[in-house]
Amino acid sequence: MFDRKKNLITGGTGSFGNAFLKYLLKYNCKINILSRDELKQHEMRVKLNSKKINFFLGDIRDKSEMEKAIIGVDYIFHAAALKQVPSCEFFPMEAVKTNIIGINNLIDLAIKHRVKKIIALSTDKAVYPINAMGLSKSLMEKIIISRSRINKKNISMGVVRYGNVLFSRGSVLPLFIKQAKDKKSLTLTDPNMTRFFITMADAINLVVHAFKNVKNGETFILKAKS
């Protein structure tokens, strides 16, 4: 499946990027990591010390820098995003630049360089969105669906949508556990709210399932209990 292929993970120094990179390293393949975080790239480079991995410092907002990471790539796994609800709420145009304009840049370059597949990560907050982060992710999904309809090149694009990944970077669970241990009230938005949690292993399996089965414009959702 991935043997002798070249893969790109955008946002590759994040929680998903780290986990999916380890999954890909099982195969005889090449992996490009694109992210803005030079420190995390350095830490990954030192820790993994693998000739299979190439690191590219850049932002998906910047087409010229992103293009260097896409040349020669077969498959793209798009995890780069602004994901923190408060940050996007305070700076909505930053969410637009990364989550909306960024995916459009990515698709332009993927078509130009004949990439075969794109799997993009989305969120349950894209469903009936009430905040800037959810709105920007919802539009990201719609751009992929729209462009898959008019795409004339041999490229498949799809979306994976899931909830909160347990103990990923920025996960609320460590905070809740600390509050419980300190016998403090949990800082819930609303006691009646619903959250959907999945493990990182489930997230990886869902992405691989989408990769194997995507045709064009589909959204893949893991059935999960609240």
Catalytic residue list: 125
Reduced DSSP (H G I as helix, E B as strand, rest coil) percent helix, strand, coil of the chain, to 5: 45, 20, 35
At which residue do the structure tokens 């700076």 appear? 91
Which tokens go with 216? 């064009």
Q: Cβ of 77: how many Cβ atoms within 10 Å?
A: 27
Q: Rounded to an integer, what distance in angstroms lies between the CA atom of residue 221 and that of residue 224?
A: 9
- 115: nearest Cα among 150, 73, 148, 152: 73
For residue 115, what are the contacts with CB-CB under 8 A and spacing of at least 6? Answer: 70, 73, 74, 75, 76, 155
Rg of the chain over Cα atoms, rounded to whole angstroms, equals 17
Rounded CA separation 111/151 (Å):
8
Q: Going by DSSP bridges, is the β-strand pair 156-162/164-165 parallel, antiparallel, or unpaired?
A: unpaired
Residue 148 contacts by C-beta under 8 Å, 6 or more apart in sequence?
156, 157, 216, 217
